[in-house]
Structures are given as C-alpha cells and as structure tokens.
Amino acid sequence: MITTWYLDNDGDGFGNDAVSLGDCVQPGGYVALGGDCDDSDSDLFPGNGCSTCSVTEQQWLAANQVSLLTALNGCSLQCFNGDPGCIASCLQNEGVPVGAFCLTCVEDYMTCTQSNCLIQCLGNEEACLECQLQSGCFATFASCLGMVDADGDGWWAGSDCNDSDPAIHPGATELCNGIDDDCDGTVDNNAGTAYYPDLDGDGFGDDNALVLSCSPVPGLITEGGDCNDSDAAVNPLGTETCNGLDDDCDGMVDEDCVLVAVKAFLEGPYNPATGLMRDGLRAMGLVPTTEPYSGLGYVHVGGGGATTPPVVLAISGPDAIVDWVVLELRDKNDNTSVLHSRSALLQADGDVVDMDGSSPVDFPLGPDDYYIALRHRNHLAVMTQNSLNLSGSSTVIDLTDGSTATYGTSAQQVVASVYVLWAGDVTFDGDIKYTGAGNDRDPILQAIGGSLATNTVSGYLPSDLNMDGTVKYTGAGNDRDVILVNIGGTVATNVRTDQLP
C-alpha cells in the first residue's frame, strides 16, 4: 500500500506538508506525520507552538478535546451559517477559553464537516467521527489547532491516553485486559460480563441495574431482560395475560391475550324459582381449591393445575362459587382442534370467572375468532355453533337465554325458558346412559354402597348430579331419576350424547 511521506529536515518527527512523496517503504529523512510549520526549527512542530493558537491555548485544547467537541456540536447548530463571530462568541459562552484568532480553524472544520458529513453527523456521533476521519476534516482541524493525533483514531495527544494505539481513546469499549481502554483513568472498570440483581428470584435481572465486571459478582446473575424485578410472574418467559401489564417483557401490553365472559347454568343445581344455581357444595366446604379435571383424566391444553384461594370459596349470594368448569377455545378453521383450555369457576348467577372469583377468564392467545366450548364434570358439554371474535376486551357469551347459537341438536335443556347444560354424565365420557356398559346409573348405586338403595353418602362426588352434597339413589331429590328423564324418560336404552364435534 502506498503511503504519503513528508520530508523532516529538522528531525522533530513532523514533516513539511509541501515536500512529500508516495512509497511503500519509508524513505530516509521522511516521516509519516506532516504539519510542521517550520521544518528548520526542531522546537516548532504540531502541539508545540506550530499553530495560530498560543501555547496556553494548545495546552487547554490538548487536555479538553471532549469539552471542545461537545461545545462545537451545539455551536454548529446555533451558527449554521458559519459566521466566525457567532462561532467564537458561542464557544466562549460554552466555556472554551480560546481566543477568536485561534478559533479560525473552527470555521474551516465546520465547513468541511457540513460539506462532507452532514447526514452522518445528524445520525449519530460514531458515524460522524468516522466520516470526519475519512474525509480528512479532523486531521486538518487538529493540525490547524496544533494538535497531534499520531494513531489516527480521532483523538489527539493529551486527551488520548495512548496516542500510539488507535483502539485506546475516550469513548472506546473498556475490556478486561489490564488497560485503561477508554481513558477515564481507571483500568477494567465497566467492562466484562453483565451482571444483574434479581430481586424477585425469577431468574431474570433488571437491565436498568446491570453491573459490568471482569469477575463474578456475588448475589447477581448473568441473565437480564426483567421489566419488573419486583414481580416473579413478569419476565421474558412470562405468560401474557389481560391485566394491563407487559407480563412477558416484550414491550407490548396484553398483545397475546383474550378475555372470555361466559354465562351458563347447570341443570343439576339450577333453581327456576330464584333464577340462580344452588351453592350447596360450597356451603358444605366440599368445593376444592384446586381444579378437579386433571384428576378426572382431562388433559388441559396449555393449562391445568389451577387453584383458587379459600377466600373466593367463602363468598355467598349470586357470586357464590357453585363448582369448577373447563373452558376451551377452538380453532376457527377446525372446531375439533382445541387451541387452549382452562379450568375456571362457575358462580351461582351463571358467570364463569377466573381464579380471583370475579374477573373474566383470560387466555394467552391473540385476538381472533374462536369456537368456545364449556365442560362440566357431570353435565354434557356445549359449544358455540359459530366462531366468535375475542379480544383483550371482555366478550360476553350468554348460553342461558338462547341468544348464542350452540353446535349440534338440543345441545342444552330448556327449564322455564332458561337454557341449562344436561345433567347426568356421571362418568364424564360425553354420554348420558341409564343402562348397558359404562352407564351412569350404576356409579350412583356404587357410591352409596352398592346394595342398600336407600343409603346416602356425602362428598364432592360425580354421582351427585343435583350437586347438593349428598348422593341418593332413591327417594325425593335422588340423583338416579335425572339420568332416566334426560334420555327420554321411557326407553331405558336411549343415550344422550354431548354435541361436540
């Protein structure tokens, strides 16, 4: 590669810009640095009086390049027309103790930058400096001020703590190498691996509190990205829920969640006189705090194991919890494909709510159209006939008044003009059968002992079809008659099947 060499008659290490030649090898008597204003005097060279600036001004400039360039950035906008008086006045106001005569160099520097690097300098500081170096603006400016940038990194001696190494200068990346790479007077500070505090213990740290260190920091972790380090449920692996928060720390709120507010009644506990369902199981303390469906063999898609606090089960009245149910969201293009399912709570007034006992049920799926199916452990499931649009705003699906069409034929029973889910599926297999293999009648008899039909048993049992907390095979309010009635009441071999695809 051809290099430009400058004649150095006085041997001060700086050559005469007017006498140069290009060669691959350094000729005798020539040097790589030009800018010598008097090549016959070894006491005059750039950085030592060879400038329009005084020695005192040069000393300040050498030590305060960052302050000068910061002031120049502001003044270049204020004095965009390049007026020398404006520039000198502005720099003086910015605390640059250099006279106007010395600052004649600035006008040429600003003109060069605006002509060659305007777009880059409007973009970012790094691109601006690179352009100034490549265009020669910076080298000319440094030479004019009497500064020396021996390594060509854009930082002159005095501000550059090692002017023989272009990788070392103010603003350089500090490395774990025993060297002050960024010239801040400290070795290996703010360098190395990023460590983060993890106050909530979720395995992700707070980016805003990161510490760079060349050795492990006790009590800190190396994984950042936590946007709320006081909540263990919020982190990059969190599940986005419809709560107004960025649960997964992706910078978006509630982008992957939909809210579903289903209203439905179960035939077993429904009371036409009050228009509510009886909450006998809850009142007897039989409703579990953990969903029962996983134990019954139902495989949730993306859910399972949901729990509710005891305080929710202590609520009485219309919002009292009657039992657990399962909600399914199915593919709008394939109603047999369950995209996500969740256990939820059913209130006495028919509202299906989340684990807090009041909120609509949220699903970690994006806004779209979905089929909605509702299951219960001893009632036949039901599903909407059409896919419905769901979003982060609560969508009400009322299955009690006939306003929402359901899939199949006679998917629900009508009791006093109110639509309810068919009771009788003791075996939770999607059929109501009174006789034959896998029927729902025999489990009731077995639950009470298997021999004495007048026995009763209390508990949270699938054979308790009217959900009053007591299983009865015969007598008033028994659970067996419900099965016979719901298959037609006369032909014992009839079967009623849930209307799911």
Rounded to 10 degrees, the C-alpha dihedral 5/7/11/12 comes to: -70
Residues 399 and 452 in one domain: no
CA dist 339 and 143 (Å) reads 70
pLDDT at position 311? 97
- 328 and 440 inside one domain: no
In this prediction, residue 42 carries a pLDDT of 82
Mean pLDDT of 104-119: 81
For the chain, the first-to-last Cα distance in angstroms comes to 77
How far apart are alpha carbons 371 and 334 in whole angstroms? 9
Residue 154 lies in a domain: no
How big is the chain, counted in residues?
Answer: 501
State CA 247 to chain mean position distance: 6
In terms of domains, do 36 and 73 share one?
yes
Q: Taking the CB of residue 181, how many other CB atoms lie within 10 A of it?
A: 24
Please tell me the distance from the alpha carbon of residue 472 to that of residue 38, in angstroms, as a whole number.
116
Give the separation between CA 235 and CA 90, rounded to whole angstroms: 48
- Tell me, yes or no, whether 393 lies in a domain: yes
* CA separation for the pair 419, 380 (Å, rounded): 13
**DSSP 8-state secondary structure symbol assigned to residue 239:** P
Q: How far apart are CA 395 and CA 406, in angstroms?
A: 16
Are 405 and 262 found together in one domain?
yes
- Identify whether the C-beta of residue 479 lies closer than 8 Å to the C-beta of residue 390: no
In a domain, 415, yes or no: yes
Which domain-ending residue is among 95, 125, 145? 145
Whole-angstrom Cα distance, residue 16 to residue 314?
94
My answer on whether 449 and 411 are in the same domain is: no
* pLDDT tens digits, 181-226: 999 999 998 899 999 999 999 999 999 999 999 999 999 999 999 9
Q: Spell out the long-range contacts of 293-299 with Cβ–Cβ below 8 A and sequence spacing 24 or more.
A: 293/324, 293/326, 293/343, 293/375, 293/377, 296/377, 296/428, 296/462, 297/428, 298/326, 298/375, 298/428
Query: Looking at the structure, do residues 404 and 264 belong to the same domain, yes or no?
Result: yes
Count CB atoms within 10 A of the CB of residue 87.
Answer: 23
| Lowest-pLDDT range of 120-124, 297-301, 387-391, 414-418 | 120-124
The answer as to whether 150 is a domain residue is: no
Q: Are strands 368-376 and 321-331 parallel, antiparallel or unpaired?
A: antiparallel
Tell me the pTM.
Answer: 0.61
Q: Is residue 248 part of a domain?
A: no
Q: Is residue 345 part of a domain?
A: yes
Residue closest to 279 by CA, chosen among 357, 362, 343, 374: 357
Nearest to 203 by CA among 184, 167, 176, 229: 229
Residue with tokens 């009690």: 400
C-alpha distances (whole Å) from 501 to each of 334, 335, 383 are 10, 7, 9
Q: Looking at the structure, do residues 435 and 489 belong to the same domain, yes or no?
A: yes
pLDDT tens per residue, range 231-287: 999 999 998 877 888 999 999 888 788 999 999 999 999 999 999 999 999 999 999
Give residue 332's identity as a one-letter amino acid code. Answer: K
| Domain end point (choices 96, 112, 145) | 145
Whether 390 is in a domain gets the answer: yes
Average pLDDT over residues 40-59: 72
Q: Write out the residue range of the structural domain in which residue 85 sits.
A: 3-145
Tokens representing residue 1 in the block? 């590669």
Predicted confidence (pLDDT) per residue in 309-358, tens digit: 999 999 999 999 999 999 999 999 999 999 999 999 999 999 999 999 99
pLDDT of residue 46: 65
Backbone angles phi, psi at 356, to 5 degrees: -80, -5
Average pLDDT over residues 292-308: 95
**Number of structural domains found in the chain:** 3
Residue 389 one-letter amino acid: N
Same-domain check for residues 278 and 397: yes
Whether 402 and 471 share a structural domain: no
Residues 396 and 473 in one domain: no
Whole-number percent of the chain with pLDDT over 90: 62
CA 418 to chain centre: 44
C-beta atoms surrounding 488 within 10 Å: 13
Q: Is residue 332 part of a domain?
A: yes
Q: Residue 472 and residue 283: Cα distance in Å, rounded?
A: 19
Non-local CB neighbours of 432 within 8 Å, separated by 6+ positions: 380, 422, 424, 425, 440, 483, 486, 487, 495, 496, 497
State whether 388 and 306 are in the same domain.
Answer: yes
- Domain endpoint, select from 145, 171, 204: 145
Query: Do 456 and 377 share a domain, yes or no?
Result: no
pLDDT in tens, 371-401: 999 999 999 999 999 999 999 888 899 999 9
Where do we find the tokens 């992957």?
Answer: 256
